[in-house]
Amino acid sequence: MRVVITGGTGFLGRRLARSLLDRGRLVDHEGKERAVETLLLFDKGPLAATPPDRRIETREGDIADSAALARLITPETDAVFHLAAVVSGEAEADTDLGYRVNLDGTRLLLEACRAAGNRPRVVFASSLAVYGGELPATVGEEVPLSPQSSYGTQKAIGELLVNDYSRKGYIDGRALRLPTVVVRPGRPNRAASTFASSIVREPLAGREAICPVKPETVMALSSPRRVVSALLRAHDLPASAFGANRSLQLPGFSVAVGEIAEAVRRAGGEEAYRRILWQPDPAIERIVSSWPQQLSAPRAAALGFAADGGIDEAIAAFIEDDLEAQKALS
């Protein structure tokens, strides 16, 4: 199989690539397992390092460049994981960039899949930011989409495009609404939710981190391990599992930000806890508070998707998978 990951050298892209290489196989459109022969990682430059493996190819390019996508998506492409995006805070601050990458890039990618003519499976990473406004205590797929940010609007439109291109038979698509992913290794980015990882990652690595929201702020989260597992499971499920609605709300666990800080205390002691600096930022608080706090995902649960056991489990996974490398960052 020839598999493409957009945003392939980013955090989730690299982790997904490692999982695919370890697994070595994916389910094809006939429901049969086939070997992954080529794993093509597409991203903007400069490209991050990738595992040394003969199956990996890297391509540097612009997701909104139709010519680059025509070279990327060929009739031999069996699967596409579309992770490339401008993050929430950056999409809100730079409207033109957000729409160019998150909307135009998604549409042009789907057009490249259509032109290839072989109906590849496409897994699109969407977000809880598609919801917003006056939300019920628990949010599920029955809640209308009413995003309160440009990022959420772009993701909602992307979901509709995946549904329409699937309905027309151009792709076999599925869109996953991801909870906030915690703990992300590396450095802070411009996502409004970046603090949720920073207040774990930095204190455990010996550095201070700013928390811009109140301790009582509740967030719905998922660990990187669960998200990667969900991306692979969503790919392998048959189209019939999704029916007419190709958008799927993933399960997540809910936790107050103050409890995240207490989990850092449990994992790293008082010294780590004291490295969390509480500095309110009304703009960040406004964006984060518009997102769902509690999730209902019965359709995903019936399809075999599951949430983490809680924040302690997610932090333990970070310590096991990423903490030593995080400490080495200057």
Mean pLDDT of all residues belonging to the chain: 95
pLDDT in tens, 287-300: 888 889 999 999 99
- CB crowding 246-274: b at 16 or more within 10 Å, else e: bbbbbbbbbbbbbbbbbbbeebbeeebbe
194-219+253-293+308-328 placed in CATH 3.40.980.10: no
Calculate mean pLDDT across residues 60-73: 97
- Give start-end residues of each CATH 3.40.50.720 domain in the chain: 2-179+223-249
State mean pLDDT over 173-183: 97
Return the CATH class of domain 2-179+223-249: alpha beta
pLDDT tens across 206-216, in order?
Answer: 999 999 999 99
CA torsion, points 303, 305, 309, 315, in degrees to nearest 10?
A: 180
pLDDT of residue 330: 61
Residue 255 pLDDT > 80, yes or no? yes
**Is residue 323's pLDDT more than 90?**
yes
CATH 3.90.25.10 in the chain, residues?
Answer: 194-219+253-293+308-328
The residues annotated as belonging to the active site are 151
For the segment 37-53, what is each residue's pLDDT rounded down to a tens digit?
Answer: 999 999 998 887 787 89
- DSSP letter for 63, please: T
Contact at 8 Å (CB) between 225 and 295? no
Residue 89 banded pLDDT, cuts 50, 70, 90: confident
pLDDT of residue 289: 87
> What is the mean predicted confidence (pLDDT) over 10-36?
94
